[in-house]
Amino acid sequence: MDARKLALEAIDKIINKKSFSNIVVNEFLNKFELSIEDKNLFTSLVYGTIQNLMTIDFYLEPYIVRKKPKPWVKHLLYMSIYQIIYLEIPDYAVVNEAVDIANIKDKSIGSFVNAVLRNFLRNPLRTLDGYDDIQKLSIKYSHPSWLVAYLLKDYNFEIVEKILEENSLIKNDAIRINTLKTTKEEVLKELDEQKIEYTPTELVKNGLVIYHGIANNPLFLDGRITIQDISSQMVAEVAAPMENSLVLDLCAAPGGKTAHLAALMNNTGKIFACDIYPHKIKLMEKTFSRLGVENVSTQLIDARNVATHVKEESFDYVIADAPCSGLGVLSHKVDLKYQITIKAIEEVEYLQEEILEKTYMLVKHGGFFIYSTCTINKDENEKQIAKFLRRHEDFEKVEEKVILPFEYHTDGFYICKLRRK
């Protein structure tokens, strides 16, 4: 199967049906037989085109403004211009492939695609002259104008531009060494023997940035390592649970942080991992089995209802990796920036407040509540916690971390450790 034809189908599905890009990409990769080179090209074309959609549309617009091509033709042009601007593929090859794809679908379209692309190649890229600062950032980094303005309420212009630029980069995966099954030294030795490139980090104890696909490697399959972003690994380390503790993980799926807590506790004590979706419970249980986690009990329950089933002051640690807008993970979820709305953010802020208000009493006096999100919006983070502390003077802030995406080339994260006096 041709990688470019498949990529066009995937891009069509993501744009027309508002499907999540990572789900579509995985669906296509599992469904069709492709060489490693074609898999890489397919993935690059889909993610890259979606990642830079607004920028590409801005450059393409003058050449089709009067034509109004069908959606699939426009998407073919998007994919072609992405290759011309961002990839080191000869222009003639991009044009020829695009024309061939167009002719297969509709012979009358091939000449139109050829004309548009050759006209585009003959002219310099459209400039951003005449646009205001927010519009320039929006077009240059392919983020909606409202989202740029929204970030500017919390951060200055230079910081916002760094965030947007980082969001436009494809990040390398990170792994966590699972100390329930191995040691850091043993994993480093095996990676070296396999000539798999990695970079250590001082941000967490057992994390590495990896430059090679690892999901089919024996190290991953037998549970000695797991894929987890470095900033996500910080959550369990900030929590720092003591052995033999009682821990409640309120929004646990997909289970990476829970498994990390179990490793830090050396499989002692008890962790109750909650989620509201049965399929996510099954996913967590599969992950825990692979990683050798033995001290976790999964619970199918809404975090807001846990207090109706559990006595107050039951847990040494309560962890709430709360639902959030996800503005810290836009480099991974490349289509989220086009789908998120202010209304959705406001709704999730209310949900976060509900979770805090309906679970804080489960923490023992002297125990800890750890609140985290994968967003960088202060209304969901610092301001949410500030409001909580004003309402509950028996809690105090022990540690607070804000991780912006560009600082360490990780996901953006917020982590706050509270202690009940």
User: Residues 251, 274, 324, 374: which is the catalytic one?
Assistant: 374
- CA 293, 314, 348, 301 dihedral sign is positive
> Are 374 and 419 a contacting pair, CB within 8 Å?
no
- Listed residue (22, 12, 84, 69) closest to 336, CA to CA: 22
Residue 67, judged by CB atoms within 10 A of its CB (0-12, 13-18, 19+), counts as: exposed
Structure tokens, 2: 């041709």
- How are the residues of the chain apportioned to helix, strand and coil, as percentages rounded to the nearest 5? 50, 15, 35
Residue 66, judged by CB atoms within 10 A of its CB (0-12, 13-18, 19+), counts as: exposed
Q: What is the DSSP string of 131-199?
A: --HHHHHHHHHT--HHHHHHHHTTS-HHHHHHHHHHHTSPPPPEEEE-TTT--HHHHHHHHHHTT--EE
Distance, CA of 48 to CA of 394 (rounded, Å): 48
374 classed as catalytic: yes
- Listed residue (408, 372, 402) closest to 166, CA to CA: 408
Distance, CA of 138 to CA of 84 (rounded, Å): 21
Close Cβ partners of 343 (under 8 Å, ≥ 6 residues apart): none
Structure tokens, 199: 């970079």
Distance, CA of 145 to CA of 138 (rounded, Å): 5
**Residue 174 bridge partners (DSSP):** 209
Structure tokens, 48: 């890259």
> Are 188 and 206 a contacting pair, CB within 8 Å?
no
Distance, CA of 74 to CA of 22 (rounded, Å): 21
> Are 395 and 318 a contacting pair, CB within 8 Å?
no
**Residue positions annotated with a catalytic role:** 374
